[in-house]
Amino acid sequence: MKNWFRFSEWWDSKIAFLFGLVYLFAIHRSIDFRGSAVNVLFLLSWMCLAAALGYYINDVFDLKKDTATAKRNFSVHHSVYQKILICIILIGMIYLTWYCLNENIVTLVLITSQIILFLLYSIPVSRLKEMPIAGPICDSIYASVIPGVMVYLTIDNPQEISWLCIVFGVWLFMAGIRNIISHHIDDFTNDNISGTKTSAVALGKMKMKRLVNYIISPIEVGFFLAFLILLQGSIAFVAVGFVIYVIWVFNRELIFVKANRHNWSPEKQDAYNFIGGVLLNEFYENWFPLICLMTLIWHNYILWPLLIVHIILFRSNIVEFGKDYLILKNLILAKAFWTSVSVGYSLAGIIKRWVCFLYYEIFGRIKHYIYWKIYIPLSGKDE
């Protein structure tokens, strides 16, 4: 059943990021998780059910085009009745979860809007997926904005719309736009073969890549930092962590590109998308949740068991830190080795110069003394 809903494609990315938001708003409101267990359970259940529904609906209506490109589709072995039944069950479980654990009217409206957008994005009648502008907007709203707002409403529980809400929404919207366009860039070849007119196919792959890297991503980062500033307080740890992360990943990728540029085909070079694909996604999925969780534990050490739970739930993301650790360790060891070689070479040169100086200075004086004080007097040449 896990394969039906493409679990591995959204658990370690979208769910991990949303949990980062849960930790972030918990810091902001100084929430004790022991008193918010129901809210967290609701969010976890809804996140998984909504992600499963969204990906499954997309698979159902992409079946023909995925078959044409030999792309894996998890609805291929299901009959029409099975597909309808699975979708009904998932939708029913979403509403049942809301009824049992939340019952907030605004949340109900968001849940319903998300389901409608799932359908509008994929069904042949509207098929927003193949509209270069409406498609990314729709995807961003149902995959990024609505989930983030759901977390905000459930954990932070704002009483009115403020600048914080607006900046938060714009950040999520820009992040969603960047993410879906980057996905279109990655899937350009398959979409081009199947005739799926995504933004990259319709408007041009390189044009979309430049749009993501030079316009959308800077705006997204700007609103992200503005959001952290508006949150104030200890959230500064997250901003500092982001800056450290950017410096590290930039240097890591620079080394990686230098090492592999001669082995890359033109296709791989075109597919490489550092800012829109590697930099921000890796931060949101791996670093952001962990930084927020560590900050939360810093303020309330009783919550340290959450770290163990997070590592267990998102162990694949933690493995990525292991890779970064190995890279960093090798860089430090290599730097230390070549620094020691350089220092040793310099010291050897200094020692050599001093040895030569002392040798010639002492030997010269001794030779001068022996010649003038011993040899000359004994030989009688000074007479």
If you average pLDDT over residues 361-382, what whole number do you get? 65
User: Which one is predicted more confidently, 234 or 7?
Assistant: 7
Confidence (pLDDT) at 374: 67
Helix or strand (DSSP H, E) at 221 = helix 217-231
Q: Which amino acid is at 103?
A: E
Confidence (pLDDT) at 261: 58
Question: What is the spatial distance between Cα 145 and Cα 169, in angstroms, rounded to a whole number?
Answer: 6
How far from each other are the two terminal CA atoms of the chain, in whole angstroms? 114
If you average pLDDT over residues 197-212, what whole number do you get? 85
pLDDT of 31 > 90? The answer is: no
pLDDT of 157 > 70? The answer is: yes
* Candidate from 100-109, 122-131, 356-365 with smallest mean pLDDT: 356-365
Question: What is the spatial distance between Cα 349 and Cα 147, in angstroms, rounded to a whole number?
Answer: 64
Confidence (pLDDT) at 7: 81
Taking CA atoms, 369 is separated from 348, 373, 376, in Å, by 31, 5, 10
pLDDT of 148 > 90? The answer is: yes
Q: Which amino acid is at 185?
A: I
Question: What is the spatial distance between Cα 196 and Cα 316, in angstroms, rounded to a whole number?
Answer: 31
Give the Cβ contact number of residue 107 at 10 Å. Answer: 18
Taking 3-state DSSP, the helix, strand and coil percentages for the chain, each rounded to the nearest 5, stand at 85, 0, 15
Q: Which amino acid is at 206?
A: M
If you average pLDDT over residues 216-224, what whole number do you get? 93
Band of the pLDDT at 37, cuts 50, 70, 90? confident
Band of the pLDDT at 240, cuts 50, 70, 90? confident
Contact 179, 224 (CB under 8 A): no
Q: Name the CA radius of gyration of the chain, rounded.
A: 31
Q: How high does pLDDT run on average in the chain? A: 82
The DSSP letter of residue 202 is H
If you average pLDDT over residues 202-216, what whole number do you get? 87
Contact 118, 57 (CB under 8 A): yes
Question: What is the spatial distance between Cα 1 and Cα 126, in angstroms, rounded to a whole number?
Answer: 29
Q: Position of tokens 């714009």?
A: 170
Confidence (pLDDT) at 75: 80
pLDDT of 297 > 70? The answer is: yes
Band of the pLDDT at 38, cuts 50, 70, 90? confident
Question: What is the spatial distance between Cα 14 and Cα 6, in angstroms, rounded to a whole number?
Answer: 12
Contact 98, 42 (CB under 8 A): yes
Contact 291, 18 (CB under 8 A): no
Confidence (pLDDT) at 105: 92
User: Which one is predicted more confidently, 53 or 3?
Assistant: 53
* Candidate from 128-137, 148-157, 340-349 with smallest mean pLDDT: 340-349
If you average pLDDT over residues 47-70, what whole number do you get? 85
Band of the pLDDT at 201, cuts 50, 70, 90? confident
Confidence (pLDDT) at 373: 65
Return the C-alpha torsion angle 94, 99, 101, 106, nearest 10: 90
If you average pLDDT over residues 153-174, what whole number do you get? 87
Q: Which amino acid is at 114?
A: Q
Q: pTM for the full model?
A: 0.81
Confidence (pLDDT) at 367: 67
The DSSP letter of residue 33 is G
Band of the pLDDT at 173, cuts 50, 70, 90? very high
Confidence (pLDDT) at 206: 85
Question: What is the spatial distance between Cα 212 and Cα 209, in angstroms, rounded to a whole number?
Answer: 5
pLDDT of 380 > 70? The answer is: no
Question: What is the spatial distance between Cα 140 and Cα 221, in angstroms, rounded to a whole number?
Answer: 16
If you average pLDDT over residues 170-199, what whole number do you get? 86
**In degrees, to the nearest 5, what angle opens at C-alpha 156 toward C-alphas 153 and 162?**
80
Question: What is the spatial distance between Cα 22 and Cα 37, in angstroms, rounded to a whole number?
Answer: 12
* Candidate from 51-55, 112-116, 169-173 with smallest mean pLDDT: 51-55
Q: Which of 286, 360, 356, 365 is nearest to 321 (CA)?
A: 286
If you average pLDDT over residues 137-143, what whole number do you get? 94
Instruction: Choose the most confident range, by mean pLDDT, from 9-23, 149-163, 188-202, 243-257.
Output: 9-23
Q: Which amino acid is at 166?
A: I
Q: Please compute, for residue 59, the number of CA atoms within 13 A of its CA located in the half-sphere on the CB side.
A: 25
Band of the pLDDT at 269, cuts 50, 70, 90? low
User: Which one is predicted more confidently, 235 or 210?
Assistant: 210
Question: What is the spatial distance between Cα 82 and Cα 321, in angstroms, rounded to a whole number?
Answer: 40
